[in-house]
């Protein structure tokens, strides 16, 4: 099943997406499409520990990730008025400027949770089948 959302000016991109997932409740989904604009982009760049807060306007060029019962893991690419792009991990505080149009694809039979991974130090994706048991397809 597909879910389509339009976020209005002033909405927090990550908070609104996670709130929608909780309200349904949405057990597991992937972001398949996203466009819009932001007044502020709060992104953690690759390998960084600090969050970069960047005032816009920004075009939301790309958004990808997983959304589920345990929250979301999102990465975005945004571009400035000169077309320069920056991307990374989406943090709370990415504020919608005019609109954000999102399409999610629900994944029946799965549940996405987040559990602390001692190896990475982050809450990582825990893929569970609704029949029970943790599944980590392709995990090595």
Rounded distance between C-alpha atoms, residue 110 and residue 112, angstroms:
7
What's residue 135's pLDDT? Answer: 54
- Look at residues 74, 75, 66 and name the one whose alpha carbon lies nearest to residue 128: 66
Task: Identify whether the C-beta of residue 135 lies closer than 8 Å to the C-beta of residue 128.
Answer: yes
For the cut 80, the answer to whether the pLDDT of residue 120 exceeds it is yes
Report how far residue 122's alpha carbon sits from residue 13's, in angstroms, rounded to the nearest whole number.
21
- pLDDT, one tens digit per residue, over 67-112 is 998 899 999 999 999 999 999 999 999 999 999 999 999 999 999 9
- What does CATH list as the number for 2-135? 3.30.1330.80
Ordered by start, the domain boundaries in the chain are 2-135
Query: What is the value of pTM for the model shown?
Result: 0.88
């Amino acid at each position: 099943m597909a879910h389509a959302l339009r976020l209005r000016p002033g909405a927090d991109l990550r908070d609104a997406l996670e709130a929608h997932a909780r309200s349904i409740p949405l057990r597991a989904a992937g972001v398949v499409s996203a466009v819009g604009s932001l007044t502020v982009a709060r992104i953690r760049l690759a390998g960084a520990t600090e969050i970069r807060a960047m005032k816009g306007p920004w075009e939301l060029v790309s958004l990808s990730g997983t959304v589920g019962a345990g929250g979301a893991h999102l990465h975005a690419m945004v571009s400035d008025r000169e077309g320069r792009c920056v991307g990374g991990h989406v943090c709370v505080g990415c504020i919608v400027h005019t609109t954000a149009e999102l399409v999610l694809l629900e994944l029946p039979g799965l549940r996405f949770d987040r559990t602390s991974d001692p190896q990475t130090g982050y809450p990582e994706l825990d893929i569970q089948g609704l029949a029970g048991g943790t599944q980590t397809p392709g995990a090595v």
